[in-house]
Amino acid sequence: MTDWPLAELLPHAGDMILIDRILDFDDEQIHTLATVRPGGLFSRDDGGLPAWVGIELMAQSVAAFAGCHARRRGDAVELGFLLGTRKFECNVEYFPVGAELTIHGVRSLEDDNGMGVFECHIRAPGIHATARLNVFRPPQAAQYLNEPSATGNQP
């Protein structure tokens, strides 16, 4: 577990932070926890979370992984991007209220240009979801966002 507040590790704020805490991380993986609570931005009428929100839980865990490593090195936390996911599978249609979801992300590839692939899992009693996330963390992300597009227009 870390003592760093999630708001300092993720480029999200307020209700957009969906994970509750980091359980553990090392050089190649992270374990996080999210408890399903009613009244959230993505909650169903019954308070559960649609299974597709699992992709965001996984992405936030990967972002927390990058943030933890940046903080451990003494670097600023950089912005990253979820490029996509492959093979998202979940055995339930939604995560019920009160479910404590353990999210596990393992880095399987990361190159010097900031491209990465993470194998991710969400587990809770009776729940199992998996996906492979493709991510991109460009060097100097703020500068990257301000570059003019190929047509000359600003983003």
Tens digit of each residue's pLDDT (9 = 90 or more) over 67-86: 999 999 998 888 889 999 98
Summarised one tens digit per residue, pLDDT across range 86-115 is 899 999 999 999 999 999 999 998 887 889
Domain boundaries 6-144, corresponding CATH code: 3.10.129.10
Q: Evaluate if residue 38 carries a pLDDT over 60.
A: yes
**Distance separating alpha carbons of residues 88 and 137, to the nearest angstrom:** 21
Q: What is the mean pLDDT of the chain?
A: 89
Query: What's at 84, amino acid-wise?
Result: G
Does this model's pTM top 0.85? My answer is yes
Per domain, the residue ranges of the chain are 6-144
Which H or E run contains 132? strand 127-136
Q: Evaluate if residue 149 carries a pLDDT over 80.
A: no
Residue 75's nearest CA partner among 24, 9, 5, 13 is 9
